Amino acid sequence: MDALADNALMLKVKSGDVDRLGLLFDRYHRVLYSFFYQFTSSKMVSEDLVQNVFMRILKYKHTFTGDGKFTTWMYHLARNVYADHYRRDSRLGFSDDFTTVENSLHNSYNIEEQTKKDEEIQLLQKALNQLSHDKKEVLILSRYQDLKYKEIAEILCCSEAAVKVKVFRAMQDLKNIYTQLERQEI
């Protein structure tokens, strides 16, 4: 994606040409959807959260300076949207949290048609869902959203070295959980 073009579009939105947000929506609603889906495993909730991100973009458009990348700013808003959603649902006692996600995933796959690779990926998804939120997030941003450590550092407001530590530890945990799950399957 062209960061300059993104920024130029967002600056237009900021100046009042809000229709330009449609182009940014076309570019980023899928990646945002997959970002939220990894945490919620709910299509509806993920769609709502994506919608919320774009509403916040409109609401806080005046805070966009154009100095950094648009995507960095967008992920900041996305993380806040998810944090608010998680806080609200926890308060209301909903079960849409990290530990119950795996159940919904089981239902979403047709077990009969699973190949060996599908099983591995399903196992990996389960392992990923058992990671703490921070560790899961850093892996999703790095691998799923294909962001560089430097970009993740900007989104998480920390140093690149700290991101590397998080990735390293997340991978260690993921490997351990995956190995355990593999043993249980056998």
Partner 1 sequence: MMDEKYIDLVTGHLEGTLTLQQEAELQDYLEQGHIKATEIQEFKNLYCQLSDIPAPAPSPFMKADFQEMLADYKKENPQRAPKGSFFGSWLAQWSVPQVFGQMVFGVMVLALGVGIGFRLTPAKTYEKELSHLTGEVQTMREVMMLTLLKQSSATERLKAVNLTGDLETADAKVIRALLQTLNNDPNVNVRLATIEALYQHASNPAVRAGLIAAISQQDSPLVQIALADIMLSLQEKKSVGELQKLLRKKDLNQAVEAKVKQTINVLI
Residues at the site binding partner 1, with contacts judged by CB under 8 A: 15-16, 18-19, 21-22, 25-26, 29-30, 33-34, 37-38, 43, 46-47, 50-51, 54-55, 58, 108, 117, 120-121, 124-125, 128, 139, 142-144, 146, 148-149, 161, 164-165, 167-168, 171-172, 174-175, 178
What phi and psi, each to the nearest 5 degrees, are found at residue 42? Answer: -125, 125
Q: Which residues contact 89 (CB under 8 A, 6 or more apart)?
A: 96, 97
Per the structure block, which two tokens stand in for 131? 């990671």
| Nearer to partner 1 (CB atom), residue 124 or residue 158 | 124
- Contact between 50 and 32 (Cβ < 8 Å): yes
Closest to 67 in 3D by CA, of 7, 127, 117: 7
To partner 1, the closest distance from the beta carbon of 75 in angstroms equals 16
| Nearer to partner 1 (CB atom), residue 59 or residue 90 | 59
| Nearer to partner 1 (CB atom), residue 90 or residue 180 | 180
- Half-sphere exposure (Cβ direction) of 164: Cα atoms closer than 13 Å: 4
| Nearer to partner 1 (CB atom), residue 90 or residue 134 | 134
To partner 1, the closest distance from the beta carbon of 146 in angstroms equals 8
To partner 1, the closest distance from the beta carbon of 162 in angstroms equals 10
Per the structure block, which two tokens stand in for 136? 């899961």
- Contact between 184 and 126 (Cβ < 8 Å): no
| Nearer to partner 1 (CB atom), residue 83 or residue 165 | 165
